[in-house]
Structure 1
């Protein structure tokens, strides 16, 4: 068979999948782009062409800038904490101790929980009247009285970050634990004989094997954190005083709460563009890391 026939056959085999992808992704995306250049309402009018007015208004909006800051803050802190906790947990689970298999199995439970269940669980823990956190801190004498952790702008975002980290750091831990299996025990033993301390062994022996897998985990978690919606919507709905409102929640409010389909579509495309830029940047970093390793 010629290469041309093989290429044609490959495209024919992929054709059903391509048709489905165009129908499921391509058409809605094209319609969203069309809507973003109109003043369409969700109900009542198809809208008129307004050019880039929606984009200009969104980018100049103080709501957009403050929400972008909140989203970036959430993504940076939560992902950084998850990476540190995940690597620490992986290093502990890589040691030999009784019951290690059970602990490894239990580690995946928080990540396996549906996000809505996790958010509801933590909302009950933070409850200002009967929450377990208030009870524990009061009995330990760390606070004088019960607090509304999700009802105060100063603590709401931090409380959500804790809930998000608890759910997602096991994913990083499992990825790092799998990478640790590739570290040659002879290298670690040789470094120990040469007098290298724990930090030196981690930096020069273990970290090179973790760098690639951790970069993949970093990409996945950063993109997920940047477009977070469900856990925040269940716990605070973006409040109090919009202190936990992220870009995805702003898109929802603009399109469905305020019924401005045109500006909601433009905001959604701006968020998509930001996530694409992040993904491309991380892709370049991964290729550079792979090239350096080679």
Structure 2
């Protein structure tokens, strides 16, 4: 690349530096102080905030909750996305309409989705309790979001319902590239559904699904909005993620320095996941 070519993206780089660079440097500085969110003098405390972050059992618990949320939510999205992609890849009447409807959950704002599922889980008049009671699966109404044993699973289900269409669309796009000759050959050979999936479809799905899983893992690890709207991190901190801890430290408890240190740890983990995504994309490009 010539020297003149480096000047072309310079305005964009300057804008990005002003929008991203300065807040990042400011956050790093605050993380080494005992700064309060609303004014007051702040003192340099060095690595004290980070030492507190690694030693605080609440933060370790929030990290565990975040990892559980990522594993449960992304796993559900992967299974539902593959099944939906395989269904939408079949020829049947109304397929175009169903493909269009598939996008609706993903298009909903997260706050709207969280509010809707909070009403579905409502212990007194929620649709889930009514349906399960009429089907005879439960004897009495349950407080799904008020039980520490079911709250995280309930939030994960709501998040998976919103985001599995993304995996389904990626899966459908990959399935469209499968040659018709391979499908016809598998049918002639008498291969069953599982054998056809493993021998014909899976080789074309493995790469795109890997990218989808990495992308969804990055997004799920930063989860805040759906948890805050549905449970506020409760009950008994059973759904409190790292992002919720950052919000409470910085805004509820006015400890900006502590909140900044935890936020930078989340950013570091997200950067590692992003590096994994880039490496995955490069590997996929090399295999083509």
Shift of 1:43: 1.6
Supply the distance in 1 between the matched residues of 2:20 and 2:168 (Cα, whole angstroms). 33
Supply the distance in 2 between the matched residues of 1:63 and 1:235 (Cα, whole angstroms). 20
Supply the distance in 2 between the matched residues of 1:186 and 1:158 (Cα, whole angstroms). 42
Supply the distance in 2 between the matched residues of 1:46 and 1:274 (Cα, whole angstroms). 31
Does 2:6 correspond to 1:11? yes
Q: Report if aligned partners of 1:212, 1:290 keep a CA contact under 8 Å in 2.
A: no
Runs of 4+ in 1 over 4 A off after TM superposition: none
Which of 9, 25, 50 pairs up with 2:20?
Answer: 25
Shift of 1:58: 0.5
Supply the distance in 2 between the matched residues of 1:219 and 1:278 (Cα, whole angstroms). 7
Shift of 1:286: 4.2
Q: Which residue of 2 aligns with 1:115?
A: 110
Q: Unaligned 5+ residue runs, structure 1? A: none
Q: Which residue of 2 aligns with 1:157?
A: 152
Q: Deviations over 1:59-100 (max 9, x none)?
A: 111011111000000001110110111011000111011111
Q: Report if aligned partners of 2:215, 2:277 keep a CA contact under 8 Å in 1.
A: no
Matches within 5 A, 1:243-262: 243-262=238-257
Q: Report if aligned partners of 1:138, 1:144 keep a CA contact under 8 Å in 2.
A: yes
Root mean square deviation, CA, Å: 1.4
Q: Which residue of 2 aligns with 1:237?
A: 232
Q: Which residue of 2 aligns with 1:269?
A: 264
Normalising by structure 1, report the TM-score.
Answer: 0.94
Does 2:203 correspond to 1:213? no
Supply the distance in 2 between the matched residues of 1:150 and 1:243 (Cα, whole angstroms). 10
Shift of 1:14: 1.4
Q: Report if aligned partners of 2:231, 2:239 keep a CA contact under 8 Å in 1.
A: yes
Q: Deviations over 1:159-204 (max 9, x none)?
A: 1111011111001001110111110010111122223222222122
Matches within 5 A, 1:1-294: 4=2, 7-8=3-4, 10-291=5-286, 293-294=287-288
Normalising by structure 2, report the TM-score.
Answer: 0.96
Shift of 1:148: 1.0
